[in-house]
Amino acid sequence: MITEELLQVRSDIENNLRMLLGRAVMVTELDAFALPCGCNGITANIRGLELDDIEVFEEQMLIYFKKTASRLGIPPSFIFARLIPGSSVVAAINWRVLCDRCYPDFARARGKTPRPDIYIMHLERRGQKGTKKG
Amino acid sequence: MKKKLYVPHPGHFDGLKELISEAGKDIYSIFMAGSPDYVGTGRSNLSSPQIEDIREQTEYAHKNGVAVEIVLNSSCMGGRHLTPEGFNLIHWYLEQLDSCGVDTIVVADPFLVEAVAKDFSMKPVVSVLSFVNSPEKAEFYYDLGASSIVVDPDVHRHFDVLHAIRDAVDCELKLLVNEGCLYQCPFRYAHFNFFSHAFGPQPRPNVLTDYYYERCILLRIKDPRLIINSPWIRPEDIHEYADVTNVFKIGGRTHYINWILNCVRAYTDERYDGNLMDLLDCPKDLKDLYYISNRDLDYAINHWKNCPTVCADCGFCRDLTEKAVRMYTGGGTESERLIEWSKIADETAVHA
């Protein structure tokens, strides 16, 4: 049952982040999503995490987040944090499999924050599987 | 003197019937939001009862010996109430509420306190969002015609200030027992102004995210002392306020009836053997993170009654946090358990 797996993964993400940071973090919700454009993936809504935490532990988090994606059968092609615009508050981590229409929006962007509410942790450009976002 | 409980009501008739059938004898008054089309409130709206709903519910409540209070406590109306059109519209709405037999109206704006006192038979209650935290401010509102003042929770543990307010005015004082907001919250004014517009009359801002809420939650996850030193009043401690007032308000009109009834039972019995987080109106998200045994906080009031509230020099709440706050790990799975908050780093490393 997919929801049982989601329950366990929610708890495991929370525990992993707590272990990395040595303090409380809360994953308030873990959702699988499918959009009308064709994008799909999972979203972990998170409380207690800031952009600084991601910047310091990005490498360790990414290894774990990629494993999490594989565990749920999602290609770990695009992983980003959603921020509260204008602040360092992280609202969610997203694992998104981009559709052909949405892919260019992100692939053409430069830098880690193509929009004020998005911090890209990992983006595989098509034809460059396995390489980090430049 | 018998305790008077003001109890939140989400606004729908079925909810009112359930509240009254389950706990009517313990409820002095219910309170609910009015229609946001006229004046907003300090909370989001689960429902916005129209005039006829309010009339019907007021008749039903009165028949069952329960008073009705309508909350119109917008902390910012953008000056609209001072325009001729705005004034006429709000005055018309207040006339309608008065004709419904509503007993009290909670308002935050001094202008509305005076207008309600002057023109209507229902009585004005000064909202918690008027931030009455001194005898001077209480006197000011009393002179405008306030029949009741909901005291700023920031002074709940400043008993000298509470006594001074009590001595300064002859009107009723109410204490909001379970708000659970940050002590000396830096977001308070901005957040309630935001709510007033986001859940008030049109045009409403199209907001992406509630920054104040997210930041507040983040602070409390990083440091649960900010929950312990928040100025809630435990059910067991309300008798300590007997020389201030016998009127207590339970916050939570955006919660389910079951949650409200649990609070009513706790504050009626003046005892709760569970998680303190079950009783706090805000931050409700964190009840699945923290478990704070309410009974572990017995006697803390003895310190708070004489607390100088200079936290940097004290450490009482920090020590209490280390002793009393436990945190869920493995939430929602078979391995769910509680760990001491102070040992989180060790515990998560061992079980990861």
Give contacts of B351 with chain A, Cβ < 8 Å.
15
Check whether A134 has a pLDDT greater than 60. Answer: no
Give contacts of A49 with chain B, Cβ < 8 Å.
218
Tell me the per-residue pLDDT of A62-116, one tens digit each, with 9 for 90 and over. 999 999 999 999 998 999 999 999 999 999 999 999 999 999 999 888 889 988 8
Cβ of B218 and A24 within 8 Å? no
Range of weakest confidence among A35-44, A106-115, B244-253, B263-272: A106-115
Name every residue whose Cβ is closer than 8 Å to that of residue B152 and which is 6 or more positions away in sequence: B128, B131, B132, B133
Give contacts of B348 with chain A, Cβ < 8 Å.
15, 18-19, 22
Residue corresponding to tokens 């749920």:
A72
A18, A19, A50: residue with CB nearest B218? A50
- Pairwise pLDDT comparison (B116 vs A115), residue with the higher score: B116
Cα gap B196→B199, rounded to integer Å: 6
Q: How far is A20 from chain B (nearest CA, A)?
A: 9
CB count within 10 Å of CB B20 equals 20
Task: Tell me the domain boundaries of chain A.
Answer: 2-123
Whether this model's ipTM surpasses 0.90 comes out as no
Cβ of A22 and B345 within 8 Å? yes
Residue corresponding to tokens 């996850």:
B221
Q: How far is A91 from chain B (nearest CA, A)?
A: 8
Q: How far is A26 from chain B (nearest CA, A)?
A: 7
Q: Assign B292 a pLDDT band (cuts: 50, 70, 90).
A: very high
| CB contacts < 8 A (A, B) | 75
DSSP annotation of B281: S
Cβ of B289 and A24 within 8 Å? yes
Range of weakest confidence among A24-33, A107-116, B106-115, B315-324: A107-116
A65 token code pair: 């987040």
Q: How far is B285 from chain A (nearest CA, A)?
A: 8
- For residues B142 and B169, the answer to whether their CB atoms sit within 8 Å is yes
Cα gap B270→B291, rounded to integer Å: 20
Check whether B154 has a pLDDT greater than 50. Answer: yes
pLDDT of res. B113:
98
Q: Can you tell me whether residue A123 is helix, strand or coil?
A: strand
Task: Tell me the domain boundaries of chain B.
Answer: 4-275
Residues across chain B: 352
The residue type at A76? P
Please state, rounded to an integer, the average pLDDT across all residues of chain B. Answer: 94
Q: How far is A45 from chain B (nearest CA, A)?
A: 11
B209, B345, B349: residue with CB nearest A84? B209
Tell me the per-residue pLDDT of A101-112, one tens digit each, with 9 for 90 and over. 999 999 888 889
Q: Under an 8 Å CB criterion, which residues of B touch A?
A: 208-209, 211, 214-215, 217-218, 221-222, 224, 285-286, 288-289, 327, 329-333, 335-336, 341, 344-345, 348-349, 351-352
Cα gap A117→A105, rounded to integer Å: 14
Q: How far is A95 from chain B (nearest CA, A)?
A: 20
pLDDT of res. B46:
72
Range of weakest confidence among A33-42, A47-56, B40-49, B303-312: B40-49
Q: Assign B13 a pLDDT band (cuts: 50, 70, 90).
A: very high
Cβ of A28 and B285 within 8 Å? yes
DSSP E strands, chain B: 4-8, 29-33, 67-72, 104-107, 123-126, 148-150, 172-176, 247-249, 290-292, 325-329, 337-340
Q: What is the CA radius of gyration of chain B?
A: 20
Nearest to B239 by CA among B264, B282, B268, B278: B268
Q: Assign A131 a pLDDT band (cuts: 50, 70, 90).
A: very low
Q: Can you tell me whether residue B278 is helix, strand or coil?
A: helix
B221, B349, B352: residue with CB nearest A24? B221
Q: Can you tell me whether residue A3 is helix, strand or coil?
A: helix
pLDDT of res. B213:
94
**Distances in whole angstroms, Cα of residue A16 to Cα of each of A4, A32, A41, A65, B142:** 18, 20, 20, 10, 55
Q: What is the CATH number assigned to the segment(s) B4-275?
A: 3.20.20.70
Cβ of A89 and B332 within 8 Å? no
What is the residue-wise DSSP string for B196-251?
A: HHHTSSSSPP--S--HHHHHHHHHHHH-THHHHTS----GGGGGGGTTT-SEEE--
Give contacts of B218 with chain A, Cβ < 8 Å.
47-50, 89
As a three-state string, the secondary structure of A7-56 is HHHHHHHHHHHHHHHCCCCEEEEEEEEECCCCCEEEEEEEECCEHHHHHH
- For residues B130 and B154, the answer to whether their CB atoms sit within 8 Å is no
Cα gap B259→A118, rounded to integer Å: 36
Residue from B194, B220, B286, B333 whose CB has the most chain A CBs within 10 Å, to mutate: B333
Cα gap B265→B271, rounded to integer Å: 8
DSSP annotation of B121: S
CB count within 10 Å of CB B305 equals 13
Phi and psi at residue B60, in whole multiples of 5°? -65, -45
